[in-house]
Amino acid sequence: MLRHEDALALDRLIHEPARLAIMTVLSSVKSADFVFLHRATGLTKGNLSSHLTKLEEGGLVKIEKTFVLKRPNTNVALTRLGTRRIADHWARLERLKNLGETSADQV
C-alpha cells in the first residue's frame, strides 16, 4: 500500500515557509545576523523576530545578542540539532516527492 505518512510526519516547526527560508539560509552560511536574515528572507522584522524565537525555543538555532558599534546585534546560527533537522526535512520531502512520481493505480 502506498503510504504517505512521511508527509504527516513533516516537522511543522521547520515546514512553515518563513522558517524553512530562515533555516535554509542558515544552513548555507552557518551564521548570520538579524539584518542579513531580514534581507535574505524578505520577512518583515516583526515576523523574523517571532520566527527566530520559535526556532530558538525548539532548540534549532542559537541566538546571541551583543552590541556592535554601540548598536544591538543579533547573531543566529543553527545548532547541531537544527542542522540535523533541516537535512532530515529535505530528505523527507524528497521521499514524498518521489512517491508522487511513481505512477500507480488505485487499489
Partner DNA sequence: AGCCCGGAGTTTGTATCGCAAACTAGTTGA
Partner DNA sequence: TCAACTAGTTTGCGATACAAACTCCGGGCT
| AA letter at 97 | K
Select the binding partner of residue 77 from DNA, its own copies, none (C-beta < 5 to 8 A, by kind): none
CA-CA distance, 12 to 76, in Å (whole number)?
A: 20
| AA letter at 8 | L
Question: Is residue 107 a contact residue for DNA (CB under 7 A)?
Answer: no
Window 55 to 74, contacts with DNA (CB under 7 A)? 65, 69-74
Window 45 to 84, contacts with its own copies (CB under 8 A)? none
User: Can you say whether residue 3 is alpha, beta or left, with left for phi > 0 and alpha for psi between -120 and 50 degrees?
Assistant: beta
Window 6 to 45, contacts with its own copies (CB under 8 A)? 6-8, 10, 12, 15, 17-18, 20-21, 23-25, 27-29, 31-33, 36, 39-43
